[in-house]
Structure 1
């Protein structure tokens, strides 16, 4: 009887620990619904659906896990909020990330997919807040990068984030403000890296130049003139 009680207690403990263990990765058969989150390996960042400020709209975002005030560093569906808690986030078998609303309507897509067959697409939240999609082999030993949120910054510059123009693909990575604390859609202010001639960082307000940092001299930005 004592042995039975001991094994029952161990079994219950294992269930409790498995429930408490936070996942940092999702496979194509593991969508997350509004109310569920994934957490980076060292509990630094968390990703899930949230409502900013006084808004009731729902967005998929990444925020600091250990800061009591919700501090969001990246938002996926900035321009296409969900008006209720029916949101669902998943990675497709082709490596494409999507957000769906209640009636299976696509709200947002990463527009990323691998050519040919994808063995095992995995989406992972890293401890630097980078959300990445890997294409792994059958044994999960080798992985190739399909997509990363660091190529699509919002209003927060984090260590390791991509900024400026990709001279191979032409992708322009810029920083853009929120419209307000209640609305993460693209606001009036932006920072871009201009690569015409020596690189310079321009600060814009509604496409009007308000500041300039540069030019880059190979070691650093040589001046800080304000226009």
Structure 2
């Protein structure tokens, strides 16, 4: 009897995983999007990371976030609309008319949150990588990625600090509370300091000192 019961449990578990994988999207496109229900999600190819709508702890507000898919306790590592939650369960996460990823509510034309980048072609798509990085791609080029906008967690492969080419500063900010992912009072960042002192004549450079700390 014990063996039969264990076998039934394994079969049910396999069926549950099968249906879960069938409902989860592999990419967000102009025709495929995520709605706020129990089946609306985007899962990485290895199944380790998952993106979908969630409510933190006792809050009723709805956010789009990324968490570890194979850990029983939901551990949020990134939040899209942390400052602008959806106040009901009518949220949609999709590619907008301008090619950007955006969080909408009901039939509202203005998004609660958007990647807000210049999209070279309106054939963009979004995927969740195995590392937990949400990327927006157009013409096979990454034009936006969540790794450039961390919340309070650094994941393997994520860079922290300044990108001197773009001027982007990747910083960490705490949640306001366990119920509210709005930026809190705790902040961690790397500061950029440049000090150049020189004294020149017509033909000679007498002194040049440079103290520069840049993290690319």
TM-score for both structures, normalised by structure 1: 0.72
| 1:133 matched residue in structure 2 | 136
- Note closer, same or farther for the CA distance 1:66–1:56 as it changes in structure 2 (3 Å cut): same
Q: What count of residue pairs does the alignment treat as equivalent?
A: 179
Distance verdict in 2 for CA 1:179–1:144, change over 3 Å: same
Secondary structure of the residue that 2:190 maps to in structure 1?
A: strand
For structure 1, list consecutive stretches of 5 or more residues without a partner in the other structure. Answer: 1-15, 137-142, 199-214, 219-227
What is the deviation of 1:24?
2.5
Q: How does 1:50-61 map to 2 (within 5 A)?
A: 50-61=54-65
Q: Aligned partners of 1:27, 1:85: CA distance in 2, in Å? A: 21
Q: For residues 148 and 59 of structure 2, what CA distance do their matches in structure 1 show?
A: 27
Change (3 A) 1:66 1:18: closer
Give the C-alpha shift of residue 23 in structure 1. Answer: 2.6
Give 2:114's aligned residue.
109
State whether structure 2 residue 41 is matched by structure 1 residue 37. Answer: yes
With over 3 angstroms needed to count, the CA separation of the structure-2 counterparts of 1:84 and 1:27, relative to structure 1, is same
Distance 1:194 1:166 in 2: 12
Given candidates 69, 93, 96, the residue that maps to 1:92 is: 96
The offset of 1:122, in angstroms, is 1.1
- For residue 153 of structure 1, the aligned residue among 150, 153, 156 is 150
The structure having more radius of gyration, on CA atoms, is 2
Asked if the contact 1:155–1:178 (Cα under 8 Å) also holds between the matched residues in 2, the reply is yes
Please identify, of 40-49 and 17-26, the stretch whose mean Cα deviation from structure 2 is larger.
17-26
- What is the match of residue 172 of structure 1? 169
> 1:25 is paired with a residue of what secondary structure?
coil
Q: Could you say what secondary structure the match of 1:150 adopts?
A: helix
Q: Secondary structure at the match of 2:175?
A: strand
In the other structure, the counterpart of 2:203 is none
Whole-Å Cα distance in 2 between the matches of residues 19 and 64 of structure 1? 15
Say what the alpha-carbon RMSD is for the aligned residues. 2.3
Give the structure-2-normalised TM-score: 0.76
CA distance in 2 between partners of 1:19 and 1:89 (Å)? 19
What SS class does the counterpart of residue 72 from structure 2 fall into? coil
Aligned equivalents of 1:24, 1:132: Cα separation in 2: 12
Conservation of the 8 A alpha-carbon contact between 1:153 and 1:162: no
Distance in 2, Cα, partners of 1:182 & 1:79? 13
Task: Write the distance in 1 (CA, Å) between the matches of 2:18 and 2:69.
Answer: 19
CA drift of 1:173 comes to: 1.0
How far is the alpha carbon of 1:114 from its aligned partner?
A: 2.0
Q: Which position in structure 2 is the counterpart of 1:207?
A: none
